[in-house]
Structure 1
Amino acid sequence: MTKPTPLNVEIVLDPKRYIVSETDAKGKITYCNDYFMEVSGYNEEELIGAPHNIVRHPDMPKVVFKLLWETISAGKNINAVVKNLAKDGRYYWIFTEFEIRKDTDTGAVIGYHASRKTISKHVIEIISELYAELLEIENKDGVEASQDYLVNFLKSKGDDVDFSNIMEEIHRFY
């Protein structure tokens, strides 16, 4: 499936509704709610079994997903602000809470549950500037350089601030 051409048109989300999806351990979609389908523009047949990156917007730095996967693969939940791409090329910003799903018998990670909610324009402005900087670094010097920049950015915010914490703090206070 070819990715849509991004349009500079934002989809305004309903603050009273959540976008929900679940994936297997490899990131393939196993469940999506009606609101996810409505906002993304994909139907259930297009989404189930597809990699979740079907909605990844090209404005998103790869380092964000690298850190997300490292965190959830280590068995830890994480929150992140993500810009997604709808099937028609429009975009939407969301605050996503990624939770691990484990096999009740073995404790092995079997997949992930993600619920998403709207975020304020001010948070989007802050995050979009950071993401643009990370993306520029990635395009010039690679993902490792982008990660170095992000680590130093987080250290400048405090010793105990990690990627998940900064997302929560920005979302909470702005």
Structure 2
Amino acid sequence: MTQKFGLTRGNFFRGMILGKRSGHVQVSDQPHGRSRPTGRESAFADNEIIVTKTDTAGRIRYANPVFLRVSALKLEETLGRPHSIIRHPDMPRAIFRLMWDTIRDRQEFFGYILNLAKNGDHYWVFAHVTASFGRDGSIVGFHSNRRRPSTSQVSAISSIYADILAAERRHSSPSQALAAGSEALNELLSKRRMRHDEFAFAI
């Protein structure tokens, strides 16, 4: 297996500390168009960290320069927009449901996400998503740091996600598709006797 740079818990969090020192951009909101997947990868380096922050509805309120470059977006096209503007059509919705359930429950989410840049290129990330809290303890938004996974990890998770996506696509109803995908994911985790975060770090 190739080196899992930054994807052990210790290395992942050390990378987050370094990432907080990088530059960032401020807020606006403008729409942008979507492109069909090109099959090309929008690459970023092992030592780079993609950082975004959203409000409680998932609208982007902060994005660092790495995010803008890799997603081929401009500042005015990004902030104030829903984070789903970079959602790839081959990404199972069941993973997003798990992510939202986890972070709204004030827990940390770790997982692999396939994203779609504005120009149609794609990029895989290993994401760490957490809630941000106000002084009164209420959730005021969400914070995400993403690192580049190894080639072997992408290969492994692509096969797993393809099976979950196939379960979703057997249903025309969005709610039934989501339920089928969630069932497929839960069956996988049950067979491996792992929580999702354990599964993500074991790949």
**TM-score where L is the length of structure 1:** 0.93
Which sections of structure 2, spanning at least 5 residues, go unmatched? Answer: 1-31, 172-176
The one-letter code of the counterpart of 1:169 is A
Pick aligned residue for 2:115 from 52, 61, 84: 84
Runs of 4+ aligned residues of structure 1 deviating over 2 Å after TM superposition are none
Matched, 1:116 2:126: no
DSSP-derived class of the 1:13 partner: coil
**Structure-2 residue corresponding to 1:23:** 54
Which aligned pairs between 1:62-141 and structure 2 lie closer than 5 A?
Answer: 62-104=93-135, 106-141=136-171
Taking the aligned partners of 1:2 and 1:39, their CA distance within structure 2 comes to 16
Which aligned pairs between 1:8-19 and structure 2 lie closer than 5 A?
Answer: 8-19=39-50
Taking the aligned partners of 2:182 and 2:67, their CA distance within structure 1 comes to 30
**Structure-2 residue corresponding to 1:168:** 201
**TM-score where L is the length of structure 2:** 0.80
User: Does the 8 Å CA contact 2:33/2:118 hold for their aligned counterparts?
Assistant: no
Deviations 1:100-137 (A, max 9, x none): 10002x11111111011111111101100111111111
Taking the aligned partners of 2:200 and 2:34, their CA distance within structure 1 comes to 27
DSSP-derived class of the 1:5 partner: coil
Query: Matched residues, percent identical?
Result: 32
DSSP-derived class of the 1:122 partner: helix
Which sections of structure 1, spanning at least 5 residues, go unmatched? Answer: none
Shift of 1:2: 3.7
Deviation larger for 30-39 or 3-12: 3-12
Taking the aligned partners of 1:137 and 1:2, their CA distance within structure 2 comes to 29
The one-letter code of the counterpart of 1:115 is N
The number of residues matched between the two structures is 167
Shift of 1:3: 2.1
Shift of 1:65: 0.2
Shift of 1:99: 1.6
Taking the aligned partners of 1:169 and 1:100, their CA distance within structure 2 comes to 24
Q: CA RMSD in A?
A: 1.0
User: Does the 8 Å CA contact 2:106/2:130 hold for their aligned counterparts?
Assistant: no
Deviations 1:82-110 (A, max 9, x none): 01000100000010110210002x11111
